[in-house]
Structure 1
């Protein structure tokens, strides 16, 4: 069984950089499974920034929708980095997909994968209650997806201002 890690945190908290370092430590020839799509110039710039930071050592797979298939198809010896679950969730919600069922399938598949996988996700529930129904639905869905995947992962980290805090496998109170 490959190791599975979830890294969460707020915007620009250092989650992706931490995920890249951890993934590189899990083996050679890492695979970056990108869920973002460059729908505008600002997003294209963000994607370019991530690509420049990673460098040429990474093999990039662009998979904005069928994440489970990407994990299965890339399952060999190379560690994988999925960046990020919240963008994948956005894609699935806008497609009208059963995102909760898909997240549960991913969680069920993790113990059977051979190569390590590191997931990046956003912690979006720490602010005020959004004023519109779509934003509230997304916030709630992101919280559910994060819980589903975190429960299946071996380790979970929260990043705050560039510093990671390991929250799993620490003891969890009932």
Structure 2
């Protein structure tokens, strides 16, 4: 089962995804937690957020900090996996390709690779991603570029996943069920 969990900041999407993958994997089963945002020691708030996430995880889970999500999914396709979050992955890809000025075509191969790896993954998989369509259009070019790219990526991931859930105020709303 592949599930895409969408929601706004502090909506409860990560906690919901953690619960979903724990249930799908079985309580005693190891889970790989792929963190796309590296720990930054120069930002106390970020460090506190990361620590809160870490405290919720069972001790049987392993954490991998990487921007190479597709490679990780292909490298260990039988390990139940949670990716948190796709927005962080996209920021890394935009940085890597220096695409913040509008050339998002450079991202196409990375996005295709990620979507293909998700579609091919056969163990339980939960992907966490910000939902970008519920707010004002960003005032900056880079903000619009990010929201446009993430909106398109979320749509592609939703097609590759069996389930899609939107978390609002901690409440899951099913958007897509398995056919």
TM-score (ref. length: structure 2)? 0.87
* Residues 148-163 of structure 1 mapped to structure 2, 5 A cutoff: 148-163=156-171
1:13 maps to 2:15: no
Aligned to 1:126, the other structure's residue is in SS state coil
**Distance of aligned partners of 1:38 and 1:154 in 2 relative to their CA distance in 1, 3 Å threshold:** same
Q: What does 1:24-35 align with in structure 2 at a 5 Å threshold?
A: 24-27=22-25, 28-35=29-36
Gaps of 5+ in 1: none
User: CA shift at 1:110, angstroms?
Assistant: 2.9
Deviation beyond 6 Å, 4+ runs, structure 1: none
The equivalent residue for 2:62 is 59
Q: Distance in 2 between matches of 1:102 and 1:43?
A: 26
| Match runs of 1:32-47 below 5 Å | 32-39=33-40, 40-47=43-50
Question: How far apart are residue 109 of structure 1 and its match?
Answer: 2.8
1:1-174 to structure 2, matched below 5 A, reads 3-27=1-25, 28-39=29-40, 40-63=43-66, 65-76=67-78, 78-96=79-97, 98-169=106-177
Structure 2 counterpart SS, 1:119: strand
8 Å CA contact 1:30, 1:81 repeated in 2: yes
Change (3 A) 1:118 1:170: closer
Superposition CA RMSD, Å:
1.6
Question: Shift of the alpha carbon at 1:23?
Answer: 0.3
**Per-residue Cα deviation, 1:114-164 (whole angstroms, up to 9, x for no partner):** 312110000122111111101110111110111111111000000000000
Give the TM-score taking structure 1 as reference length: 0.89
> Which region of structure 1 is more displaced relative to structure 2, 153-162 or 51-60?
51-60
How many residue pairs were aligned? 167
Q: Is the 8 A contact 1:32 1:60 kept in 2?
A: yes
Residue 15 (structure 1) shift: 0.4
Distance 2:37 2:146 in 1: 16
